[in-house]
Amino acid sequence: MNYPGSFNTIIVDGHSKDDTISIAEKYDCDVIFEDKGTISYARELGVEKSDSEFVAFTDADCVVPENWLSTLINHFDDNGKVAAVGGPNITPEDDSTFAKSVGDVLSLLSGAGARYGFEGKETREIYHNPTCNVVYRREVIEEVGGFNHDLITVDDEEMDYRIREQDYKILYTPEAEVLHYRRPSWKSFTKMGYRYGLGRAQATKLHPEMGEWFHFAPSSIILLLALFLGNAVRSRSWVKRFAGTLSLGVMGIVSMSVFLSAKRNRWTQLPVYVILISIWFWSWGVGFIKGLCQNT
């Protein structure tokens, strides 16, 4: 890492069965283990282990550039109002064809306002940076109470919400790109969508202001389809409503997939885009519904 000051690398491991620990020890990283199985708890353990002014976060499926730390830290101000600085996470060129399609879909979905696949070209204030590519002031994390261990996902955005509530600023800069390998299989992508929908619902129940219209859209349509289907045994008009709503949804997903194929010039991936967007719609929607129904 090309950084003028000193830094310490901390690996928080969930008892992985690969070569993570041996590789970490080879490079003199500090290794600690977490037993709760949640990413928020792992991040909190990392913060507790650190003792520096700034705390940087990235994920196991990411590759950071040599100047990553210096680029991000250079954007902090002297008066302490900037609490965090992050950048984009880009799908690597050597990722699999399927994973690149996942990255394309995540980038498309970010157009509605989601931050995960955002690739802005200007340094500016933003509401959230994913913890695969971000540096925080340690004292600000401690001031707002750290990560919420009760959230399955979206814990980083929920903490950023509390940070901004204290009148701190969060900055995004395109200068600090991190390569982020995407979900490699249909199963892992489905699980991702479900968990993100579940975590979003949990966070929205805590802070209703975090909920946007596009967060509620998939679950609302799923519930509407369930209502129509449940009443279909009583009248054919309900069957028509079900079929009409489902047809509109399919048309919308196909239209998004065609747009994405044209934008990326990857027409051979059109069927994959259709399936991925459909999976995200259903997995997110079901997860969001479960999150709303859970007791907190």
Query: What tens digit of pLDDT does each residue of 155-193 get?
Result: 999 999 999 999 999 999 999 999 999 999 999 999 999
Reported in sequence order, the residue ranges of the chain that DSSP labels E, i.e. its strands, are 10-13, 30-33, 54-57, 62-63, 82-86, 89-90, 124-125, 134-137, 169-172, 178-180
What was the pLDDT predicted at 6?
A: 80
Domain-terminating residue out of 183, 209, 241: 183
Domain contains 36 = no
Mean pLDDT for the stretch of residues 213-221: 94
Instruction: Indicate the range of 37-51, 135-149, 211-225 predicted with least confidence.
Output: 37-51
The C-alpha angle 22, 25, 30, rounded to 5 degrees, equals 130
Higher pLDDT, 291 or 19: 291
Give 202's pLDDT tier (boundaries 50, 70, 90): very high
Taking the mean position of all CA atoms in its chain, how far away is CA 70? 24
Tokens of 164: 């901004």
Please tell me whether residues 86 and 147 are part of one structural domain. Answer: yes
Domain-terminating residue out of 125, 151, 183: 183
Domain contains 12 = no
Domain contains 32 = no
What was the pLDDT predicted at 260?
A: 96
At residue 162, what is the residue type?
R
Please tell me whether residues 57 and 146 are part of one structural domain. Answer: yes
Higher pLDDT, 118 or 265: 265
Q: Report the domain count for the chain.
A: 2
Query: What tens digit of pLDDT does each residue of 101-124 get?
Result: 999 999 898 876 566 666 778 999
Burial code (b: 16+ CB inside 10 Å, e: under 16) for 50-73 equals beeebbbbbeebbebeeebbebbb
pTM of the model: 0.91
Domain contains 237 = yes
What was the pLDDT predicted at 114?
A: 60
Domain contains 15 = no
Domain contains 92 = yes
Mean pLDDT for the stretch of residues 39-62: 91
Please tell me whether residues 136 and 204 are part of one structural domain. Answer: no
Domain contains 256 = yes
Please tell me whether residues 57 and 160 are part of one structural domain. Answer: yes
End-to-end CA distance of the chain: 42
Domain contains 13 = no
CATH assignment at residue 59: 3.90.550.10
Q: Report the share of the chain in percent with pLDDT over 70.
A: 96
Domain-terminating residue out of 156, 183, 210: 183
Domain ranges, residue 68: 52-183
Collapsing DSSP to helix, strand or coil, 268 comes out as helix
Please tell me whether residues 156 and 207 are part of one structural domain. Answer: no
